[in-house]
Amino acid sequence: MSIGPMRDRPAIERRTETRNGIGDEIVVWDRFCDAWAEPMAISGTEFMAARSAESDVTMKYRIRTRPGIDTTMRVRHGLKVYGIVSALPSRLGRQWMELTCTGDAGVT
């Protein structure tokens, strides 16, 4: 596998539930790992909702295989956050895996 296209380094985050000072349950996203990745835009849609432009993007991130990544996690790439929809090993071996992710592209 060529390492050349893997030039980005998004963070993979894990959801953790904890309690705040008054006992309320809150959700915190902890960093699971940083991974060199090749991001690939798969699709994007734009639509109007409540008088503002919204968009939804599907991304695929190819990373080196890393145990423990699953669909309860998310990818933070710069200011954008994408939920992991699938984490599949490559068809050609176990050198890398592909994370299919969806999220809001932040268009307002």
pLDDT band at 108 (very low <50, low <70, confident <90, very high): very low
Spans of all domains in the chain: 11-104
Q: Measure the CA–CA gap between 34 and 107, rounded to whole angstroms.
A: 26
Answer whether residue 51 shows pLDDT above 60: no
pLDDT band at 57 (very low <50, low <70, confident <90, very high): confident
Q: Measure the CA–CA gap between 52 and 108, rounded to whole angstroms.
A: 6
Structure tokens belonging to residue 46: 């734009």
Spatial contact of 46 and 54, defined as CB atoms under 8 Å apart = yes
Spatial contact of 103 and 89, defined as CB atoms under 8 Å apart = no
Instruction: Give the model confidence (pLDDT) of 9-32 as tens digits.
Output: 999 999 999 998 898 999 999 999
The closest of 53, 92, 99, 54 to 76, measured between CA atoms, is 99
Please state, for a pLDDT cut of 70, what percent of the chain lies above it: 79
- Average pLDDT of the chain, as a whole number: 83
Query: Looking at domain 11-104, which of 2.40.10.270, 3.40.228.10, 3.40.1410.10, 3.40.50.300 is its CATH number?
Result: 2.40.10.270
Average pLDDT score over residue span 77-101: 88
The pTM is what?
A: 0.78
